[in-house]
Amino acid sequence: MTDSERKGAVLPAAKEPGDAVLDFLRLAITKKLADAVILPMKVPSGDSYAWILMNDISLLDDAVPIAATMPVQGAKALRSLTRKGPGNLTVIAVMRPCEIRAAIELSKLGQVHPDNLILATYDCPGAVQLQKYVDDPAGSEKRFAEMLQKGKPDNSAKPVCHICEDFSLFDSDLHFGYLGLPDKEMLVIAGSDKGLELLEELGLASAEDLSVWEKGIDQLKADRIKARKSAFKETEAQLRGFDGLLSVFANCIGCHNCQSACPICYCRLCYFDSETAEQNPDALITAASKRGGISLPVDRIMFHTGRMVHMSLSCVSCGQCSDACPVSIPVAGAFSYVADQTQRTFEYTAGRNDGDPLPLRQFRKSELPGVHELVKDADAEVSSHE
């Protein structure tokens, strides 16, 4: 759907943005336009959220559509539901833009079947870092309420949220927009035919003009783009060269939490956990002897660079890897920077629903001039040796 085709509707005023979303979902279920919804709910201990698939409308009262933190990447919830096929349930999932983008990547990878899913997202101010939230849920909620009002992340938010350009996005079926709008006003905007159909069936009054909201978003976006540039510069300086890479990942203990928290890394058994990647004991001793010593477990840098190669084209910079790291390595900053480069190489943006296939699923006969240069240089070198 192009920008000019976008259609929106005005939602009845509610106390908080989240309440307006809940009212919308209640209406959709009551009118039998959806069988179930997926929303975050506070866990009983009160210090985190969990994704809950629900069709019991009374449970909606306890749901928090716009949650302060994201303990589990929403795309993983969608994957667990539809990995084996789309099924017959029409389910509306309300998630952060980066979660929807990860779900779109996973659908390209055949791990999410979105046919009967209605993916809804909202203007995301950022998410509070998981550990900070768990340590102080009440304080974090307060800070998030402020973030929500300003549309900007504060320093309790994940570092990648500060540099996220796609915090308000149309590649979902539905989008709830409120940033830049007068207080308590909320728009629901269709991003696909599926979304448009739902809005029409719900009979919501359509909004003629989206420009106020769009302007608000653009202003916020400008800040983030600026922050992104300077953050990437900083990351580049830290990460550059082998020593840089080593120092950033120096504390890595090889737990692979970053990989298991990653929505894109869907492999049941990661190559780096498999027998193929397992070094045989003799080879390990030999490797140690060559260097006088070797750090264990081996291949920790190999793991991270390998993962960059394997999944950075689909990285949505959601920051889950950093949140899951027990030794606070800025994994997400590094991956976000690398992903920006690899995706740029193929003029690909992860998480877009524009029909662009995954870069590694296609090729053009003439492309990547830079690589040709490298090949030419290598050829020249070979012939000069001959």
Partner 1 sequence: MSSITIDTRASRKVRELLKFLLENGKIDAALTMRRIPENNSYDLALITDASNINEAVPLIPVMTVNAGQVLSSISTSGKKIAVVLKPCELRAFVELVKRERGSFENLLTISHTCGGVFPLDLVEKGQIEELIPKYEKTISKGEIPVNTRDTCRACEHFIPMNADITVSVAGECESEKGCMMYLNTEKAEEFAEGFAGERSEQKFDPSVLQKTLNARLAEKEKLFASMTASGPGLDQLVDTFGKCVGCHGSNSVCPICYCLLCDFESANFDYNLPYFEEHLSRRGALRLPPDTIFFHLGRLTHMSFSCVGCGMCSDVCPVGIPVAAVFKKTGEKTAALFDYVPGRDAEESIPVMVYKEEEFSDIG
Partner 2 sequence: MKKEFTPRITSFLCKWCSYTGADLAGTARLQYPTSIIPIQVMCSSRVDPVFLIKAFLNGSDGVLIGGCHPGDCHYETGNYHARRRFAIVRSVFESLGLESERLKLSWISASEGPKFARVANEYTEEIMKLGENPTRKSIFL
| Contact set for partner 2, span 100-159 (CB under 8 A) | none
* Binding piece for partner 1, criterion CB under 8 A, among 5-13, 280-288, 335-343, 370-378: 280-288
| Minimum CB–partner distance for residue 338 and partner 1 (Å) | 21
Cα–Cα distances (Å) from 160 to 125, 165, 329, 383, in that order, read 12, 10, 13, 46
Number of Cβ atoms within 10 Å of the Cβ of 126: 25
Number of Cβ atoms within 10 Å of the Cβ of 284: 15
| Minimum CB–partner distance for residue 14 and partner 1 (Å) | 23
* Binding piece for partner 2, criterion CB under 8 A, among 37-45, 73-81, 123-131, 351-359: 37-45
- From residue 134 to residue 163, the character string flagging contacts with partner 1 as x (rule: CB under 8 A) and all else as - is xx----------------------------
Report the residue number, 48 or 156, with the smaller CB distance to partner 2.
Answer: 48
Nearest partner of 199 among 229, 165, 227, 172, judged by Cα: 172
Task: Let me know the angle formed at the C-alpha of 326 by 284 and 45, rounded to the nearest 5 degrees.
Answer: 140
The interface with partner 1 within residues 311-340 (CB under 8 A) comprises 323-328
| Minimum CB–partner distance for residue 205 and partner 1 (Å) | 31
| Minimum CB–partner distance for residue 27 and partner 1 (Å) | 18
Cα separation of the two ends of the chain: 56
| Minimum CB–partner distance for residue 279 and partner 2 (Å) | 31
- Does residue 79 interact with partner 1 by CB under 8 A? yes
Residue 368: in which H helix or E strand, if any? Answer: none
Work out the angle between the directed axes of helices 97-108 and 74-82 (0-180°, nearest 10). Answer: 40
The interface with partner 1 within residues 209-248 (CB under 8 A) comprises 247
- Does residue 30 interact with partner 1 by CB under 8 A? no
Q: According to CB under 8 A, which one of 149, 192, 238, 295 is a site residue for partner 1?
A: 295
Q: What's the rounded Cα separation, in Å, for the pair 347 and 340?
A: 10
The interface with partner 1 within residues 251-270 (CB under 8 A) comprises 251, 253-257, 260-261, 268-269
Q: According to CB under 8 A, which one of 9, 81, 334, 339 is a site residue for partner 1?
A: 81
- Does residue 45 interact with partner 1 by CB under 8 A? yes
Side chain identity at residue 375, one-letter code: V
Nearest partner of 39 among 81, 93, 102, judged by Cα: 93
Q: Which long-range contacts link 198-201 to residues 24+ away (Cβ below 8 Å)?
A: 198/28, 198/33, 198/118, 198/173, 198/174, 199/7, 199/9, 199/174, 201/31, 201/33
Residue 256 binding target from partner 2, partner 1, none, CB below 5 to 8 Å by type: partner 1
| Minimum CB–partner distance for residue 71 and partner 2 (Å) | 12
- Token pair of 353, please? 């629903």
| Minimum CB–partner distance for residue 344 and partner 2 (Å) | 42
Residue 13 binding target from partner 2, partner 1, none, CB below 5 to 8 Å by type: none
Phi then psi dihedrals of residue 39, to 5 deg: -140, 155
* Binding piece for partner 2, criterion CB under 8 A, among 36-44, 85-93, 248-256, 346-354: 36-44
The interface with partner 2 within residues 49-68 (CB under 8 A) comprises 50, 52, 54, 59
- Does residue 43 interact with partner 2 by CB under 8 A? yes
- Does residue 293 interact with partner 1 by CB under 8 A? yes
| Minimum CB–partner distance for residue 80 and partner 2 (Å) | 14
CB-based contacts of 38: which residues, under 8 Å, 6+ apart?
51, 52, 53, 54, 74, 77, 78, 81, 91, 92, 93, 94, 95
Coil, helix or strand at residue 94: strand
Report the residue number, 53 or 301, with the smaller CB distance to partner 2.
Answer: 53
For binding to partner 2 (CB under 8 A), which residues are involved?
A: 41, 43-44, 50, 52, 54, 59
